[in-house]
Structure 1
């Protein structure tokens, strides 16, 4: 299998797996218990919190572990339901975890402004500034789009939000572990992340919560009041240990990963653009180094994806790798239904090889030419 769908999920790094294993079979105590075995586990969890916080320039007490980014997003947004300000500003190209949660907030009386992006996928900061009012509770904009890899000017966006006393949440699920992210420098109040997007295990993530945001948040899960009373439930210790180790590795290997993967992504993209009429969707300057989203006019992406068999790619968000509906992200960028349905996302990772890229280019070009309508 040639796996080019790393924005959907990544392979678990062997180093992460080996660090996790003892917490399944040896150090399996409940971190919330009072005996010595539990205290040993609790210390390991605290270390994982430090590792995760260190990756994003935060403090360990600002980290709440969750089941993944989706839960973190729900806690961050729904946790603000009791605030007197009832206005949310976000963009139409956000992940469905944000958009659907915002729709829920509308159903309980909030007003949500969904801002459009340009054909390059980038948000107009002037439009954003005009949309934030004295009633705006929170501005929500992701760092990196999961489908196109397009990046937004997060530092400028957070500045605009804070200038009008609004909170700023940044979905960093596709950024963490790939590029440097510093919540202090970027002045982010709430930041969800997920371990399986950067070579950690599935089923675990975290929410960074600034001191300002913590004062406003209500828990969404009630029970034993674990994790500073913001998220109850027995901790997923092996998963948390895995997230911590993945964070530690990312700190040390961000630069080397970026250099190697950038070359492979560019080689793949340049090769696939030999298909007549093909083009890259979105801004090729402001994007993450591992992602390219390419339109193959006249080729139904769903058909091509299935024909590729042992080459894994997708034509939408990671939660719907093969779908007959056009991507809401590409539609928002002005693509026609036909072009959106002819587009494929390729996302490379730490374990992608040059040999795989060479084979993928050959196979994809050959099949695309045969399948062209």
Structure 2
């Protein structure tokens, strides 16, 4: 099936972590998101699930697993590519695809497999590595390779924060930052993170709702969550008041994960003037500390068209927007999303991307266009 070239590529997010860290819990939290996102999922051993086509009546357990063993060991790049391409069918209207790796998977191998998929309809969306706050230190001692896994993560999720005290949690955060000083780290309970930090929900045409149909898994989870929120409204209000008092007092009890300065932040900048493609490429390939992803539309020196750029952990994807009429003055829009980012420095860095008026760099644009999908990979419209 042909795919329109002007449709943004779907991000493929790899969720990894040792056994019991909370990967499936995080996945269920994403599926139960309240921001209207539609997700495709490849789960555990090797199972491709198009969540939007999953009939609750037929799969009430909510998980389909194919017993082929660990993804990175039992499936080649072509097999994973076929699964991803199937989920990326435009008719599904997915916003993202999540690959939940088994607890013994090798994240490096999975990243290479995703990046190697020759389908312009998808792009690498980052490695989310999940740590069990209560067991992280001991697990690393028993399995030293986890340190290497953490070092290449684009986002570190420290889960089960409600099971430890403040000192233990601080120690796990210090360990994560020592092993990976540039990746953002978030502290969670039950794997709840802001889905909008990982991908842009609701950005694609959705399947028609004119015909009656059964609820999909993500819709069912949202419905159950909504019902629980209504039935527990008074209890929830009381807990929120308690957490607010606790936070004001500077204490760190059961609600500490909510206010541990690890919330995602977004820095949006409008930059007037054409940008220097070399400097932009350097920024995208080496994101600011604490940055999970960078996205935007830009006008570049040496190019007569607008480009969309996406970057996660140094993996860059460039797409042509189809806009060729440059406004006067040209204005580029860029957004940096992460935790603990220095907003002042980020704004200064983005503002410093404007090309000098006398810039004469014939080949500078190649630093950006090299991240375009290979022409031979693009299907005909």
Range into which the TM-score falls when normalised by the shorter chain: under 0.3
TM-score, normalisation: structure 1: 0.23
Please identify which structure carries the higher strand content: 2
TM-score, normalisation: structure 2: 0.23
Q: Which has the higher contact order (CA 8 A, sep 6+)?
A: 1
